[in-house]
Amino acid sequence: IHKLWWTPTRIQNLMRLQGIKGPSYRLLYGNATEIINMQTEAMSRPMNLSHDIFSHVQPHIHSWAKRYGRNFLQWYGLQPVLVVTEPELCKEILNNKDGVYPKQKPSKFVKKLLGDGITMTTGEKWVKLRKVSNHAFHGESLKNMFADMKASAETMVERWKIHEGKEIDVFEEFRLYTSEVISRTAFGSSYLEGKTLFEKLSKLTIIIFRNLLKVRFPGMSKVFRTSDEIESDKLEKGIRDSIMEIVKKREKEATIGEKDSFGNDFLGLLLKAHHGANDKQRLSFEELVEECRTFYFAGQETTNSLLSWIVLLMALHPDWQEEARKEVLQLFGKQTPNYDGLAQLKTMSMIINETLRLYPPAILIVRRVEKEVKLGKLLVPANVELLVPTLALHHEPQFWGQDVGLFKPERFSEGVSKATNDNMAAFIPFGMGPRMCVGLNFAAIEAKIALAMILQRYSFTLSPGYVHSPSESLTVRPQHGVQVILHSLQ
Ligand code: HEM
């Protein structure tokens, strides 16, 4: 009774007294059933070709924010979740100056994907992991990865030759491309070598999303295991085995004891940290495997969706497609784009930003309150989760104007701070503060090189077969792919 009724009622009352309303807590399930029903209903309706996707993808947040106000309380089962869309509060949470808003505790399904790796962990362990990935995905290291990205993009556009004049599903194509890029650049491997690993990651992602809101009686898993629990255990083991194979192969190739013998890519750096002499910096084998799993996932899913949405938007807006092509041809002609030149693609950056605003691949950022804390004027009790809904902020007319749902890359013509009126929390596709995306620059270069090479060779129009259905499955992805017709420019 204490856990199921007294605590939720106390928290609900405490928040109501401070003006924070929300859908009422329901015994054991909280608002999980309502959320699932609203999402199922929204997904069952076809969507017209509009970019007003907020009410379609997150109908509960859309409708409850309207009904209860900018900040409201909802319940994932017994877990109270404070949804925060007030920019000042979002900033306070994400900047996390005093370390009072750590990452949420992952559910047992999420743990199978992300473990206690960089995206989930805190404290000294996070500092140690972040140091390795900062080194691997910034500055010179990033420049060194460019040749592999270019080669992967070349392979992709070569493959497209057989689709000239025909329909092509770019979501599927970018899945291969982004898998190839992260395999080659970070792990010195290839998509084919990691094929089963990616397939298992993809299946695990679907299971995780399916179970995010499922409520189970405490201790139930010890008595009865669902088919998803059994399947996810198998997938977790399969992923681990595939990663071990890649790691062992690299270890074998290396001459232990020689400087840099493990290589300078991400896997090489992880192995160096694993075999390193410094106790404090050393990674255990478990930590190494977790990091590989995280980057195989984070490095692929997000950029895959982003590239697909960009192509959709450029197919719908041929004027912007033409502008972007003009810029690429002016800078590179028909030559393969070079690393430094990519930074000068201004129109393309505007298109990327506007796509990230309308279709941010990562739509929720979650933190938790460990001990009672003052957030702005609100007193938030311990164990409440805080949810910063990126999609809601990116689709807020108060920040972006009444044309919020329109694709208008010109918003970003004078940079992000001008586009947001210095309201930093209005545009956070890569998060904000110390936990901001490690792969931001990597993703930007990966996207630009692919788009530049496509624009040099092809124009594209939307296929009549395309069905618009942005759906959430850890990232916002096109449920039925993005089909376009390719027209050769050669
Ligand atoms: C369009 C592409 C991408 C988007 C939209 C994106 C989005 C995000 C967001 C919103 C966060 C912050 C999460 C939070 O604060 O809780 C994040 C963190 C992270 N991202 Fe990305 N990401 C992208 C690409 C990548 C790539 C390519 C990689 C790897 C190469 C990557 C690796 C990570 C990692 C490791 C973190 C955790 C950082 C930490 O907690 O210190 N991401 N990403």
Q: 476: CA distance to ligand 1 center in Å? A: 14
Q: Which stretches of 293-353 are assigned E, i.e. beta strand?
A: none
Asked whether the predicted pLDDT for residue 455 surpasses 90, the reply is yes
- Ligand 1 pocket check for 152: Cβ under 6 Å: no
247 C-alpha to ligand 1 centroid (Å)? 23
Scanning the structure block, which residue is given the tokens 């291969």? 176
The pLDDT of residue 257 is above 80: no
DSSP state of 30: B
Identify the residue whose C-alpha is closest to ligand 1 atom 16.
Answer: 365
Q: Does residue 300's CB lie within 6 angstroms of at least one atom of ligand 1?
A: no
Q: Ligand 1 pocket, 363 CB below 6 A?
A: no
CA distance 383 to 257: 47
Please tell me the number of Cα atoms within 13 Å of 235 on its side-chain side: 24
Tens digits of per-residue pLDDT, 291-321? Answer: 999 999 998 989 999 999 999 999 999 999 9
Handedness of CA 163, 165, 167, 169 (dihedral sign): positive
Q: What is the spatial distance between Cα 490 and Cα 473, in angstroms, rounded to a whole number?
A: 38
Q: Is the pLDDT of residue 256 over 70?
A: no
Nearest to 232, CA basis, from 376, 378, 70, 111: 111
Q: List the residue whose alpha carbon is closest to atom 24 of ligand 1.
A: 439
Q: Please tell me the distance between residue 345's alpha carbon and the centre of ligand 1 in angstroms.
A: 23
What is the identity of the amino acid at 455? L
The average confidence (pLDDT) of the chain is: 93
How far apart, in Å, are the Cα atoms of 435 and each of 44, 94, 161, 222, 341? Answer: 35, 8, 41, 35, 29
Tokens standing for residue 368: 């938790």
Reported ipTM = 0.99
Lowest mean pLDDT among 94-98, 223-227, 340-344, 369-373: 223-227
Check residues 255 and 193 and name the one with the higher pLDDT.
Answer: 193
Give the contacts of 32 (CB within 8 A, at least 6 positions apart).
75, 76, 77, 213, 214, 215
In contact, 396 and 360? CB cutoff 8 Å: no
Is 168 in contact with 441 (CB distance < 8 Å)?
Answer: no
Residue ranges at the known binding site for heme? 437
Residues of the chain by 3-state class (helix, strand, coil), percent to 5: 55, 10, 35
**What is the CA(298)–ligand 1 centre distance, in A?**
6
* Positive or negative: CA dihedral 133, 138, 139, 145: positive
Which of 210, 219, 209, 213 lies closest to 30, judged by CA? 213
> Alpha-carbon torsion 374, 378, 380, 384, what sign?
negative
> For residue 130, how far is its CA from the centre of ligand 1 (angstroms)?
12
Q: Which of 75, 27, 18, 67 is nearest to 374 (CA)?
A: 18
Name residue 393's amino acid. L
Task: Looking at the CA of residue 178, tell me the nearest atom of ligand 1.
Answer: 27
Beta pairing class for 378-380 and 373-375: antiparallel
- Return the ∠ at Cα 485 (arms to 150 and 481), rounded to 5°: 75
Residue 104 token pair: 């949420």
CA distance 242 to 177: 20
In whole angstroms, give the CA distance from residue 5 to residue 274: 47
**Do 55 and 42 contact (CB within 8 A), yes or no?**
yes
Closest CA relative to residue 393, chosen from 349, 430, 363, 434: 363
Find out whether 39 and 62 touch, Cβ atoms under 8 Å: no
pLDDT of 73: 98
Each residue of 96-143: pLDDT tens digit?
Answer: 988 899 999 888 888 888 888 999 999 999 999 999 999 999 888 999
Q: Which atom of ligand 1 is nearest to the CA of 306?
A: 1
